[in-house]
Structure 1
Amino acid sequence: MQHPLVSLIGAPTDIGAGARGASMGPEALRVANIGPILESHGVDVVDRGNLSGPANPWQPPVNGYRHLPEVVAWNRLVHEAVHAELALGRLPILLGGDHCLGLGSISAVARHCRETGKKLRVLWLDAHADFNTNELTPSGNIHGMPVACLCGHGPRELIEIGGQVPAIHPRWIRQIGIRSVDPGEKRFVHQAGLEVFDMRYIDEMGMRHAMELALATLDANTHLHVSFDVDFLDPDIAPGVGTTVPGGPTYREAQLCMEMIADTGRLGSLDVVELNPALDLRNKTAELAVDLIESLFGKSTLMRA
């Protein structure tokens, strides 16, 4: 298999989060050697450095949105950076930053797919559905809203970033590992018809079955985007996140998830978000995230047929 050309894009902001510290995520991933480790697998890696956007003013919500102007600015920067790498035929890895940035990243991927006639599949690996709106949100933190915004439910200046509203259709998303959904959000997820493999499903059916369904019907004309929120993982193995929810995938379940994605050969873009080194222990969560990303790019125990 041909090795991809990978571009690392740092987005050092916690603008959409409820805790400070995700702004340090990109550097922690670099300290955990994300570039050299991918290069050791024959991947061509270019680190584009960090985007530079507005500081976090740490203000209360306005009309149910916290830091909306700053969130818009950061997502526009991310959108343009990710789209530029895709246009060069490279695989962008967004080093977040909080998960509000998935809006800029995935809207760029959707735009690229429209321009190249490709289908899009989004795997959303997360403890949370991130399908809140300003009416539903208990906090106003926009990192709980990117999937809703991508599906056209949100403020005009956010939902229009990709140039088309909605940027994506709910049918294109598979959510995996979900175990914390706000009451109003539950109804909204159900109404929208999101395909969700929550932890109960994974407990009952196993990660393998969930991933087989999540990856079904991928073909050579499908761009696969993985949006990996580090709080997807069980906090026992990944404490360095601001929104821990007990009962996430184990190390082996997470590895299987990543290896099955790698086996498709379709990975086209990746977000790694919500890593918060301020809450971590000796960078162990960053190292685990890099270990899992390594598996996305083909690290496995044995040669597989």
Structure 2
Amino acid sequence: MNDRLIRALTADGRVRVIGVNITQSLNEAHRRHQLSAVATAALGRAMSASLLLASNMKQAQARVNVRIAGDGGLGLVYADAGFDGTVRGFVTNPKFELPPLADGQQNVSQGIGHTGFFKVMRDVGYGEPYSSTVELIAGDIANDVAWYLASSEQTYSKLMLTEVIEQDRDDAPVKVAAGILLQIMPKATLRAAKTANLSQEDLLSQLDAKSDTQKFMDLLLQGKAITEVMTEIFADMHLDILPMSKDVTFSCPCSMERVLAAMKMFGEEDLRSMIAEDKGAEATCHFCGEVYHATTEQLSNLIADLQVVNT
């Protein structure tokens, strides 16, 4: 089943519902970075969150990156996603491990820590990117994202992020990984009171009731697609699936050409040292783990380019 992002409306258009399945993408991230179980879970939640946040942007080239820096052992958890459905990410301490919780879930909150910062940077596709930072309140990412949306964007939101990691599997340990974001549309509570005699408290109570992460995970484990899961959760509220779904893939724009362009920053002296001492150079992309090898000929060409520029 391919990874997919689905957008929908419910409660007569008063609530936005966005769902994403990233099981394959997270397995690819695990393969590339050789993540521990708790690092896999944390990165998966960050990847889901970045995709959900990016889905509300307008430009095809728009991107959102999420940076979670806490005082836990995982260090920085970083995810970058595009409106086009591409996503990538990394954890600075990918081997850090913790025992699972009593219910078998990964202890993401302790892995990230409870003291630190949650930062979101948005590149809308034109002009300068803008960012906003809030303090961590939970470390589980779901509640931290909801807090960020409430404090930075004044949007009431509920977020469900879940994953099942099979630690005895090395090739594809992620059985399921997905997320659902619920958001009240602007001025929705006022319209609700006028059209359905539904108070603000009633609407918030309904969203709280729908935010059942255990039920969400159970439906995924039954093999249901993200669209089916969303439809079942909101069966009594009439879910209107929008024609704006898209495939999700783990993807990184790094390339040998970009690596060589970056290597010019070392300067002629350092490049000559790489040729003489190392017979080339090696670079690893932090975002996807791809390893690039530059030959002595390629480094010599960079030196020649620098000499032309400096003449």
Alignment TM-score, normalising by the size of structure 1: 0.27
The structure whose Rg is larger is 2
Flag the structure with higher strand content: 2
